[in-house]
Structure 1
């Protein structure tokens, strides 16, 4: 009988990598999981061995850190040579001059405005990627002495002369969905956990594993709004910051309506229009310059996915995730968790627009033995799969066909349960995208692990609403599996 790792290598021959949590090498490199696994895949041998010295040379040459920037500048200026690197960049159009100015956050450059720009032909060819917020890509840099627009004096500037978006995988989503049938549900759940760097052996049972995977719902479902309160050290930050380049994590500090939605002065869309999800980490430490303004904007956006700032009408597909720590006294069912949130979120009409609540105290603390080990799905490949699953509308049609909704059911409750059920179906039963009829096992998994947990997550929201405002009943609609 094949091991899970052997099965994975057989059905995903080009999308698996060996993961070794004991290797200090990868920790020292500090790469996000999706970038680390892509690098492993690039240098892996058929027997699973990796030439670490070659990896180190590659990373040093093409994935520089801040400390490497002076070396790169010397190459550009003193050797008059071009340099290619894989990094994050953010491009803005200078309203005064019309130039496309660029920043490299990982390198801390530039310090002064107009020290770096993008060639016009590069911007024209890759406009959608370069003007969609901070993005990953391979850039070719050159140094030139030139006068910025509307200025007579020449200065030295770094110029982006070529750009390739970092999308190393062409995902065959039908293949991913079809091979689900090669695995039992417990095996498939372990596959998903390994893909996000977790060791299935570190969990108590299947129930705990699937609740943990609910953290991935905003990765696969557009505009899914989630609250998770959990003890420290349960991996909240890691999941939402290291697994996918399509999400954005805000950790502490202040965040404005302009940052979230639309910046009028810069004529630039905010985070909700640029990413698959926006997670507010350590939400208790985040402040808002104008609380009534941001609360009003959030109510509209969380309801419809649309926003208005001045004369600008925008749309976004990002779900909003509130991540916070919960005190020991409230780590139990029936406690009033919303007291842990900032005052701006403690309004019933706003909370009602969040689809689900995750009780993070049910999750194990991150320990060394919780890290994935052995052959697992490549995190970068898996992040592309999650991103692709967002656009597959057929899953919602399947969900609607399978569920019976009471005629007097609350609309928001129904929408929340439907969306969560649909997202869990994408994760646990992706092969339903390809089949004409469901097996008895499929129906059982759908009811027990998709619908039941979706209802439970919404019930948490309802219970908290009732404690906050007695006008809201604590019950949810009795949405059930339709008789087939």
Structure 2
């Protein structure tokens, strides 16, 4: 698009926003301008800017900015100036400050006491009516404009001379939701999305369409009750910004360490924790999540599934959404090949399918670019506090049934998948079409996006938990035409462990079970050189089972080579073998059949048929062992990129345990004995 045209459209959007939502918008570069010099949350700044700069008149804006700067310089408490402010309160007898206030009850003297974050004062008496009106003072604290009095009584020296005479949270006092609904009607879908993104401080004209949707998804936990989302990606993509700066109704739990009492319910004080007092609880750096209580993760799972949890004799309900953000240190391709996309979570969660199954959406953080100065907007957007109240009001509504007017979900979605997709659709509709006016195409666009995020969760569950999570072919049906559309996940495309095309002679892929019980993919590379009949192995480490399995294969090979081909020499050649654990899960002891094939392939200088994987194992006498967990093993073969799988004939009966749409993706080739396996692998009749 021509830059001039784009600039005009932006100016038009600014004008429209100022006329439709007069006094509710602010120029975002003003926030940035002052934010860089004052370490206060965005919603505190914009509350003040909204009071003094909600206009497009340059002169008024300049005056307003000066006024806000003066308020901040006079009243905002910087930690290093705390003593100076305390002195000022004492000298003047009363003084107004801006600080974060947390309140606790002191039961010994039956009084509420305030603690000031930057001022460093503790034990300041505060009237109970403030606590009743703003209960968040009791958990996590709120930024407030506070009037503090000072009175020192010589006769009552134990009493704190400081006291709170008035307190006003830096939040909008009221909100008319119909104002938003009516205003929304005057904007197109694209304009409204741009307005929402600008309201979070980003510049939409610098971002791709898909990135805009990801940024909107970050807001869904603020509008949807009990929404569980995770976003893992590179550093510097602004993952936690929304939950820390944009909304006064969300709390970011940094450092990971938490307790059940803090998060859910404190049985000694009988007070509900963070989930009952905030709309959204976000965990920064998921790798560090730790619970001091053994049952912490179990209670979290219970809460994520039902929005309730049991503590003692009571069951409590809460509506806070849960967001997990963290860093992926490897490339996504590497992670998909060697592990799964939930790997950055702590060990006690990383293989817990029940925990991850409660995630409604996995946002691909690697698709969001690292933040650069030109990604931040200098145009108009809603005052953060106004948009936060709009989000909060939308939590009372639901658009989960908006799918049902036009579409039906496919049969691969179970109950949890359906709930997840409906919640995402509901949240996105609340953001983009809060007034409830949308078309069939609008819902289809949101539905596809919702299905993709849940399928990403399911694909990883399949990697961790196997056949239990096999149904990942997510689809939806058009109610009019009954045409079925399938939704895929972009990153599941290429990057297969087993490349297409013929490999080198002596190279063979095998799938087997490791000592940990996980099913892995291994590559055996055999090389034949002149020698005296030695068998050299590398890549084994101290794995005894793998070593014995490979020795079994070599003994069978030397004893039966003439039955395979008279041209094979075991006395004048040395056989070198290297094994690679392609997924890093530990070696398997089920390598004998595959190694026999590799030895014959190297000796005959004939490659194994393309995209072939071997499964099964044998004894030194040539007895074939039955394949355990057959369906799961076959699933791993397909995921690795196999087109053909060599299967022991004894496993024919197990085919009925394999879902039909998995079977059609691979050609099963059955072998009766080890020599039959060699012939079939090399394509020799």
TM-score, normalized by length of structure 2? 0.63
- Report the CA distance between 1:137 and its aligned residue: 2.9
Aligned to 1:218: 221
Cα distance in 2 for partners of 1:451, 1:235 equals 25
Cα distance in 1 for partners of 2:263, 2:430 equals 28
- Report the CA distance between 1:232 and its aligned residue: 0.4
8 Å Cα contact 1:255/1:289 also seen in 2: yes
**Does the residue aligned with 2:254 lie in a helix, a strand or coil?**
strand
Describe the shift of the 1:265–1:146 C-alpha distance in structure 2 as closer, same or farther (beyond 3 A). Answer: farther
2:236 to 233, 239, 243: 233
Map Cα deviations across residues 211-248 of structure 1 (whole Å, 9 max, x no partner): 22111110110110011101001001212210001000
8 Å Cα contact 2:412/2:471 also seen in 1: no
Map Cα deviations across residues 334-374 of structure 1 (whole Å, 9 max, x no partner): 55111111123221011111111000001111000000112
Cα distance in 1 for partners of 2:420, 2:52 equals 43
- Report the CA distance between 1:186 and its aligned residue: 2.0
- Report the CA distance between 1:421 and its aligned residue: 0.5
- Report the CA distance between 1:46 and its aligned residue: 4.8
Aligned to 2:18: 9
Cα distance in 2 for partners of 1:129, 1:284 equals 28
Report which stretch shifted further, 222-231 or 245-254.
245-254
Aligned to 1:27: 36
Query: Which blocks of at least 5 consecutive residues in structure 1 are unaligned?
Result: none
Matches within 5 A, 1:100-249: 100-110=112-122, 115-123=123-131, 126=133, 128=135, 130-131=137-138, 133-145=140-152, 154-168=158-172, 170-203=174-207, 205-249=208-252
1:483 to 469, 480, 490: 480
Task: Detail structure 1 runs of 4+ shifted over 6 Å in the superposition.
Answer: none
Query: Which blocks of at least 5 consecutive residues in structure 2 are unaligned?
Result: 1-7, 482-685
Cα distance in 1 for partners of 2:30, 2:157 equals 53
Aligned to 2:255: 252
Paired residues, number: 464
Describe the shift of the 1:20–1:332 C-alpha distance in structure 2 as closer, same or farther (beyond 3 A). Answer: farther
Describe the shift of the 1:318–1:228 C-alpha distance in structure 2 as closer, same or farther (beyond 3 A). Answer: same
Report which stretch shifted further, 38-47 or 395-404.
395-404
Describe the shift of the 1:28–1:127 C-alpha distance in structure 2 as closer, same or farther (beyond 3 A). Answer: closer
Matches within 5 A, 1:291-330: 292-330=294-332
**Does the residue aligned with 2:429 lie in a helix, a strand or coil?**
helix
Structure whose alpha-carbon radius of gyration is higher: 2
Describe the shift of the 1:109–1:209 C-alpha distance in structure 2 as closer, same or farther (beyond 3 A). Answer: same
8 Å Cα contact 2:42/2:245 also seen in 1: yes
- Report the CA distance between 1:178 and its aligned residue: 2.9
- Report the CA distance between 1:153 and its aligned residue: 5.8
Describe the shift of the 1:310–1:378 C-alpha distance in structure 2 as closer, same or farther (beyond 3 A). Answer: same
Aligned to 2:111: 99
Cα distance in 2 for partners of 1:387, 1:184 equals 23
2:383 to 358, 378, 381: 378
**Does the residue aligned with 1:177 lie in a helix, a strand or coil?**
helix
Aligned to 1:445: 442
- Report the CA distance between 1:118 and its aligned residue: 1.0
Aligned to 2:356: 351
Map Cα deviations across residues 73-129 of structure 1 (whole Å, 9 max, x no partner): 1133233x122233321212223332112112243332xxxx3121245445x2645
**Does the residue aligned with 2:227 lie in a helix, a strand or coil?**
coil
8 Å Cα contact 2:44/2:170 also seen in 1: no
Cα distance in 2 for partners of 1:256, 1:312 equals 18
Cα distance in 2 for partners of 1:408, 1:374 equals 44
8 Å Cα contact 2:403/2:443 also seen in 1: no
Relative CO higher for 1 or 2, CA cutoff 8 Å, sep ≥ 6? 1
8 Å Cα contact 1:17/1:41 also seen in 2: yes
Describe the shift of the 1:446–1:352 C-alpha distance in structure 2 as closer, same or farther (beyond 3 A). Answer: same
Map Cα deviations across residues 280-321 of structure 1 (whole Å, 9 max, x no partner): 11111332223x411111111111111222234322111111
**Does the residue aligned with 2:96 lie in a helix, a strand or coil?**
strand
Cα distance in 1 for partners of 2:319, 2:342 equals 25
Aligned to 1:469: 465
TM-score, normalized by length of structure 1? 0.88
8 Å Cα contact 2:144/2:169 also seen in 1: yes
2:27 to 14, 18, 31: 18
Cα distance in 1 for partners of 2:153, 2:376 equals 50
8 Å Cα contact 2:412/2:475 also seen in 1: no
- Give the RMSD, CA atoms, in angstroms: 2.6
Describe the shift of the 1:421–1:481 C-alpha distance in structure 2 as closer, same or farther (beyond 3 A). Answer: farther
